[in-house]
Chain A
Amino acid sequence: MNEAIASQPQRNIVSRLWNDKETRSVIIQIIAFAAIFAFFFFMVRNAISNLESIGKDISLDFLSQPSSYDISQSLIEYSSRSTHFRAMIVGILNTLLVAVFGVILATLVGFLLGVLRLSKNWLTNKLAYVYIEYVRNVPVLLHILLLHGIIVHALPLPKNAINLGDTAFLTNRGFFIPSPSFEPLFWVVAGLFVAGIFFSIWFSRYAHKVQDATGRHYPVFWINLGAIIGIPVLAYFILGSPIIWEIPELKGFNYRGGMVVRPEFVALWIALSLYTAAFIGEIVRAGISAISWGQSEAAAALGLSRGRILNLVVIPQALRIIIPPLTSQYLNLTKNSSLAIAIGYMDIVATIGGVTLNQTGREMESMTIVLLLYLTFSLLISSFMNWYNKRIKLVER
């Protein structure tokens, strides 16, 4: 580059630099970076000086103060005497709960929709098509409000609850189910369950090895199912059902005791899942369609069954195309869960970014915390999906 510049001594240095494609791009980048930096510097200074001029400082001390408000759904011990920090943890867990359940359901429904969209059956195909187009073209907030409205209005009040065998009760205040309390013998069952998981991991590897060496094929799925589910279930009954169930009872306004799944959680979970599933369905369809038909034909020519063609040839290649956009959908679902406040589900935005913010007036700090939390979740999901994407990528030889 220096040589090129030196070979044109007749032009001045600015135009020489500017006319050189690479230097020009560096200059533009420096200017752009400086402008962005200056902008943010100005904004931050402005914010700080404004806060100073009304005498507000930035401090996180409020997190250790008592929160003085209650939260209806909490996965950990929490009361109005807990700290704002603990309220935040409750919010984080509630967000994660709906995100994790949402991702699982959205993936299942999404893959199903994708496959249905590829179906040769006209009716199935069109039904999936109509569903996808309807769901993904309506804002997700409306889905959430609609679903919550349906649950609240369609289900009966606690005194007329839908009684499921005197143990579980469906009301518009929630789905009340018995909660377990474990006796010592139960831990034997739990131990067997964990052992079953380890066994099945070992067994899958062993079966693989045997197949590679001899071509013998074990029914791995059924054997593992028996080890993980069958044996613990058998043990549970042999040991005389070592769990005591606390059955919810109608007392006053509501059912007491047992566990409850709140309509807010259900509405948010289902709405987010079904909404995201519509997008995932299209991604899955695109991924599978992208695998040329010749591959399936070739696999069929080798004598593989239809199921095995899908499992061994089509899906592994389709996944490479599906995973990156799927990651975006998982991120969307997690972030969309912040709409929870509209129906009163106490997530991060409703706890630390809502009641805490309002009671302490620390909007700058609270919103920064909320922002960093979502950023962290999103980066974690991305890095996990990128790791998975690398793992399943086509091995090139």
Chain B
Amino acid sequence: MRVTKSAAVAAALSLTAFTAQAATLEDVQARGELNCVVTTGVAGFAAPDENGRWEGFDVDFCRAVAAAVLGDGEKVKFIPTTGKTRFTVLNSGEGDILFRNTTETMSRDADLKLSFLPVNYYDGQGFMIRKELGVTSAKDLDGASVCIQTGTTTELNLADFFRINNISYEPVAIETNEEGITNYSGNRCDVYTTDASGLASTRAALDDPSAHIILPEIISKEPLGGAVRHGDDQWFDIGKWVVNALINAEELGITQANVEELASAAGDNPSINRMLGTESDMGAMVGLDAQWAVRAIKAVGNYGESFDRHIGPNTQIGLERGLNALWKDGGILYAAPIR
């Protein structure tokens, strides 16, 4: 059995690199750079700008982790991956942490051996279609040709939706987002489907965004979040609490602009004091110093600032906060407290 296993693995050698399992924190600090797994380019979430600098909502979380761990949000090496390669890159040790609009699911958690960080964007799969076709509901899509980007959870949701509603469709599964959009705008497909956030980003990039609408149906739950490998709890905790810190910062009114002032001396609010290390040293619990959260917020701002800067209503992408508003503003964003 051992022998046949070896033979099988030998054939697929090229997929596995040498890994460093435990002590990711030490590895990252020794290297002086955080390897962050991102997409090959989804405007607003992670894409290089005209100067080649990576920008976006997911990118900000990479920078926040780098700032907390290394003291500098610029010390990030971005590893662009397709939907198919992302987990291999993370699991093989090539990447330290993943922020790639990735849906948390049970099979990915348990079978792919990933640990998911708190959700940073509550999404759901939707449909985009040309206005001129006059379709107003996804249930009217019987017989339509649907372009999908493969390597996501999209195929499964799509198959489920059409099966539940007992209507037919022709799936056109394409490797990259770019080719998928080319096919949609070339009229190969009537409909383009992906997560609603991705649709908004895609729609903004089309020649005439107003000629396309996003249908009201959201056919799946897509809690998007970062992830790390199983097996390094300290590293998982760092990722988890950096995300929580950014969300809590918005709740507590800590911004990129006022964080240094608030951190200069202990104030009246113990929650702020604890997070910014003026009252107790929370950072030591995860192997960092007391200023970890200050640096993270200084680097990218709080959750809301990052959201507004990259994907909010005033950007090209134009996403409303919706579900992603803080719990006290009617959303479901509810981060565990830092204490």
Chain A interface: which of B64-72, B82-90, B194-202, B304-312?
Answer: B82-90
Given the complex, which residues of A lie within 8 Å of B287, measured CB to CB? none
Main secondary structure of the interface of A (DSSP, over half): helix
Cα–Cα distance between A253 and B147 once the two chains are bound (Å): 14
B269 at interface by CB-CB < 8 Å: no
Nearest Cβ in chain B — how far from A1, in angstroms?
36
Q: Show 21 A/B contacts (Cβ-Cβ < 8 Å), sorted by A.
A: A47-B13, A50-B19, A51-B9, A54-B229, A58-B5, A71-B171, A80-B159, A80-B160, A157-B187, A252-B143, A254-B144, A256-B143, A263-B188, A350-B173, A354-B151, A358-B150, A359-B107, A361-B87, A361-B112, A363-B12, A368-B11
Cα–Cα distance between A152 and B160 once the two chains are bound (Å): 28
How many residue-residue contacts, CB under 8 A, span A and B?
169
Given the complex, which residues of A lie within 8 Å of B153, measured CB to CB? 359
Q: Could you tell me if B170 and A72 are in contact, using CB atoms closer than 8 angstroms?
A: yes
B142 at interface by CB-CB < 8 Å: yes
Contacts of A251-274 to chain B: CB distance below 8 A = 251-254, 256, 263-264
Q: Could you tell me if A357 and B84 are in contact, using CB atoms closer than 8 angstroms?
A: yes
A-B contacts besides A354-B150, A365-B8, 17 pairs, CB < 8 Å: A44-B6, A47-B12, A47-B15, A50-B92, A53-B231, A54-B19, A54-B230, A68-B159, A69-B171, A72-B173, A173-B188, A342-B179, A343-B174, A344-B183, A354-B173, A355-B151, A361-B87
Given the complex, which residues of A lie within 8 Å of B182, measured CB to CB? 149
Given the complex, which residues of A lie within 8 Å of B173, measured CB to CB? 72, 341, 344, 346, 350, 354-355
A210 at interface by CB-CB < 8 Å: no
A27 at interface by CB-CB < 8 Å: no
Cα–Cα distance between A344 and B189 once the two chains are bound (Å): 12
Cα–Cα distance between A367 and B133 once the two chains are bound (Å): 41
B212 at interface by CB-CB < 8 Å: no
B108 at interface by CB-CB < 8 Å: yes
B158 at interface by CB-CB < 8 Å: yes
* Interface of A toward B, CB cutoff 8 Å: 40, 43-48, 50-51, 53-56, 58, 68-72, 80-81, 145, 149, 152-153, 157, 172-173, 251-254, 256, 263-264, 341-344, 346, 350, 354-355, 357-361, 363-365, 367-368, 371-372
Main secondary structure of the interface of B (DSSP, over half): mixed
| Category for how many chain B residues contact A | 35 or more
Given the complex, which residues of A lie within 8 Å of B5, measured CB to CB? 48, 58
Cα–Cα distance between A64 and B173 once the two chains are bound (Å): 22
Cα–Cα distance between A257 and B229 once the two chains are bound (Å): 48
Cα–Cα distance between A397 and B67 once the two chains are bound (Å): 82
- Given A54-B230, A153-B186 in contact, is the A364-B12 Cβ separation under 8 Å? yes
Cα–Cα distance between A299 and B282 once the two chains are bound (Å): 96
B156 at interface by CB-CB < 8 Å: yes
Given the complex, which residues of B lie within 8 Å of A363, measured CB to CB? 12, 15, 87-88
Q: Mark B154-191, 1 if CB is under 8 A from A, else 0.
A: 01101110110000011111110001001100111010
B35 at interface by CB-CB < 8 Å: no
